[in-house]
């Protein structure tokens, strides 16, 4: 890479912003001189003011619409766009041979959005990108082989460079947090659409009520992904929000059962134990060395495609937990083999920069 790396990290909602902020921290550590810009993509903007203030308090981002994003990529204003969502405009740009081949344009590197429950559907979206970061490790080989096949049968396609990793999926710390033994709080990490049904969510809520009743000396927190009036532009927005259900079904819930919408990092720093159904929070907890339970046997789980998909992803992890074990707070450590497949080495920032440099070299040699 010639000179200081100029990188654009795009976002449009809470998950893409969390990704961008985490990747920015890794890149800053790997290359303090890099010029890193956060870019809010307005056509798909779904963040509330509270979420923006919480996740990016410096408000140091720039705004893009379809045209300005494409202009920036076309003019090569950045060395690379790093994104966990391949916006339609960007994908269309990269599918156009005359634009894809353009000398000095910005390279586009995509990451997964989070736990990918249906990875095969994401392959086609990522194929037009110049570089792709995936996980689990086995998927990098699968995708690379698939991409080579596509490139062999379509002369308009170039197989992207492929590497392993995601800023949320960094290898867990080898030692648990120093204060873990003194922590008391139990966190349940809610997800917008899983459990899917009202009955399923009431069941999970009742399990949290039961935990609070059985452990009056501990705080049981329901960590909300967002407040009920947020993320309303999502099709999969929360229909049965926990604050509403708690008020309606458990008006006399114990006082040590509480709701919070605090940042994820704050929750993982406080938690003695984290419980979730299908949330990526399970990954955050394992990464930070916090005992983790993934509960998938909730009522109406058969209605929820994410339950079966989560079970596939976490098969062999050791953290899928029965209701009885959950209620008795019986945890298991994650299996090392599974962890090695799912979590990437902590040098992700350096590897991203190396891929940007490799892509620039590839583009330079392709355009002669």
Partner 1 sequence: MLARLKATLLGKWLYRLSRHDIFGAPLRWLLDLGVAEQLDPAHWKVANRQHNARQAATLAAFRTRAGGAGQ
CA nearest neighbour of 10 among 36, 38, 45: 38
Give Cα separations from 31 to 25, 37, 131 (angstroms).
10, 14, 19
Q: Show the tokens assigned to 72.
A: 């920036």
What are the angstrom distances between the C-alpha of 89 and each of 92, 93, 95, 150, 155? Answer: 5, 6, 10, 21, 22
Tell the smallest beta-carbon distance from residue 5 to partner 1 (Å).
31
Least distance in Å: CB of 320 to partner 1? 14
DSSP track, 187-234 = EEE--SSSS-SHHHHHHHHHHHHHHHHH-TTS-EEEE-SS-TTSSTT-
Contact indicator for 82, 23 with CB cutoff of 8 Å: yes
First to last CA, the chain: 17
Q: Are 9 and 24 in contact (CB under 8 A)?
A: yes
Query: C-beta of 116: minimal distance to partner 1 in Å?
Result: 12
Which CB atom, from 213 or from 265, has the smaller least distance to partner 1? 213
Q: Which is nearer to partner 1, 40 or 161 (CB)?
A: 40
Are 19 and 338 a contacting pair, CB within 8 Å?
no
Q: Which C-beta is closer to partner 1: that of 97 or that of 243?
A: 243
For the CB of residue 43, give the shortest distance to partner 1 in the complex, in Å: 8
**CA–CA dist 75, 323 (Å, integer):** 55
Contacts with partner 1, residue ranges (CB under 8 A): 43-44, 46, 88, 118, 121, 193-194, 196-199, 203, 206-207, 209-210, 213-214, 233-237, 239, 249-250, 252, 254, 297-306, 323-324, 327
For residues 67 and 265, give the distance between their C-alpha atoms in angstroms, rounded to a whole number: 35
Report the distance separating Cα 30 and Cα 211, nearest Å.
43
Return the number of the residue (95 or 236) whose C-beta is nearest partner 1: 236
* Closer Cβ to partner 1, 325 or 335, answer by number: 325
- Minimum CB separation of residue 237 from partner 1 in Å reads 8
Residue in the structure block whose two tokens are 């990526």: 280
Name the residue nearer to partner 1 (CB basis): 165 or 195.
195
In whole angstroms, the minimum distance from the beta carbon of 166 to partner 1 comes to 21
Query: At closest approach, how far in Å is the CB of 251 from partner 1?
Result: 9
Return the number of the residue (22 or 237) whose C-beta is nearest partner 1.
Answer: 237
């Amino acid at each position: 890479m010639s000179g200081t790396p100029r990188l654009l990290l795009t976002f449009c909602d809470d998950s893409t912003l969390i990704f961008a902020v985490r990747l920015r921290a890794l890149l800053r550590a790997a290359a303090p001189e890099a010029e890193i810009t956060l870019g809010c993509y307005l056509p798909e903007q779904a963040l509330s003011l509270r979420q923006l203030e919480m996740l990016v308090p410096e408000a140091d981002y720039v705004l893009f619409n379809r045209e300005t994003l494409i202009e920036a990529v076309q003019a090569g204003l950045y060395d690379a766009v790093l994104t966990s969502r391949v916006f339609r405009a960007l994908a269309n740009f990269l599918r156009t041979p005359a634009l894809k081949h353009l000398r000095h344009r910005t390279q586009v590197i995509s990451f997964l959005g989070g736990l990918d429950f249906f990875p095969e559907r994401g392959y086609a979206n990522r194929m037009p990108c110049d570089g792709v970061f995936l996980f689990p490790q086995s998927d990098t080989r699968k995708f690379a082989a698939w991409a080579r096949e596509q490139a062999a049968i379509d002369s308009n396609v170039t197989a992207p460079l492929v590497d392993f990793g995601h800023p949320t999926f960094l290898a867990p710390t080898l030692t648990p947090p120093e204060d873990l033994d003194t922590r008391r709080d139990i966190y349940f990490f809610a997800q917008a659409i899983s459990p899917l049904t009202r009955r399923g969510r009431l069941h999970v809520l009742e399990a949290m009520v039961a935990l609070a009743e059985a452990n009056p000396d501990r705080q049981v927190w329901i960590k909300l992904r967002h407040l009920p009036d947020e993320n309303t532009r999502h099709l999969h927005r929360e229909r049965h929000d926990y604050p509403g259900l708690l008020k309606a079904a458990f008006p006399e819930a114990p006082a040590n059962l509480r709701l919070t919408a605090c940042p994820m990092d704050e929750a993982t720093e406080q938690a003695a134990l984290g419980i979730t159904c299908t949330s990526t929070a399970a990954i955050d907890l394992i990464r930070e060395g916090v005992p983790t339970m993934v509960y998938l046997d909730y009522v109406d789980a058969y209605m929820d495609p994410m339950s079966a998909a989560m079970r596939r992803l976490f098969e062999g992890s050791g953290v899928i937990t029965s209701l009885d074990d959950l209620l008795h707070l019986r945890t298991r450590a994650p299996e090392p083999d599974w962890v090695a497949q799912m979590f990437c080495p902590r040098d992700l920032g350096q590897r991203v920069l190396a891929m940007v440099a490799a892509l620039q070299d590839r583009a330079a040699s392709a355009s002669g």
